[in-house]
Amino acid sequence: MERIVFYILALIMIVFAVASVTSRKMLRSVIYLLFVLCGIAGIYFLIDYNFLAAIQLTVYAGGIIVLIIFSVLLVHHIEMELEIAKTSKQILTTVSCLLGLGIFLITIYSHEFNVIENSLTTTTSEVGTKLLSYSDGGFILPFEVISVLLLAAMVGAIIIAKGNKLTDKKDNPA
């Protein structure tokens, strides 16, 4: 049963991933990308990583895709189509993609992956405890580093949004 669900999800993800890069309408590719991301969330649900699945849905499907849709809505008219790249560029992209895929496959097949019979569901409190623990295997350092990054991003966003207003005040003290 799980195997069938996995293959269905994998098929959905591959089809929509290909559709996403080949579609010439911008918003359609965004929606295909959304389906791919939902498929990934589905895989997480399948292996009982519920927390990660919900985060995937909130952050990627609900957050990032909505932001991309917003920017498309602002700049893109419904009748516009994306242009087709030059043949030389197409060939270059194909070669580099195949190369990347080859490296992935070689890595996957040259290493042994142990199948863990994992029937335990990770609870949110375990995730939280790990994030704030500073003993072995704790994630307090990356957690703090990411929060500093977030702060920097917020400051940057405010600077960009305020734009000239910040500098104008300094120049004209009146």
Q: Under rule CB under 8 A, how many of the chain's residues touch other proteins?
A: 27
**For other proteins, which residue of 9, 13, 33, 57 counts as binding (CB under 8 A)?**
57
Residue 100 CB, shortest distance to other proteins, in Å, is: 29
Residue 49: burial class (beta carbons within 10 Å; 0-12, 13-18, 19+): middle
Residue 97 CB, shortest distance to other proteins, in Å, is: 26
**For other proteins, which residue of 71, 123, 133, 147 counts as binding (CB under 8 A)?**
123
Q: For residue 123, which amino acid is it?
A: T
Q: Which stretch binds other proteins (CB under 8 A): 73-81, 84-92, 134-142, 146-154?
A: 73-81
Terminal CA-CA length for the chain:
73
Distance CA 20, CA 27 (A): 10
Q: Which stretch binds other proteins (CB under 8 A): 8-16, 67-75, 105-113, 162-170?
A: 67-75
Distance CA 31, CA 110 (A): 35
169 near other proteins (CB under 8 A): no
The 3-state DSSP class for residue 58 equals: helix
**For other proteins, which residue of 70, 97, 106, 153 counts as binding (CB under 8 A)?**
70
Residue 113: burial class (beta carbons within 10 Å; 0-12, 13-18, 19+): exposed
What letter would DSSP give residue 119? -
Distance CA 140, CA 41 (A): 26
130 near other proteins (CB under 8 A): no
12 near other proteins (CB under 8 A): no
Residues that bind other proteins (CB under 8 A): 1, 25, 27-28, 31, 34, 50-51, 54-55, 57-58, 61-63, 65-66, 69-70, 72-73, 78-79, 121, 123-125
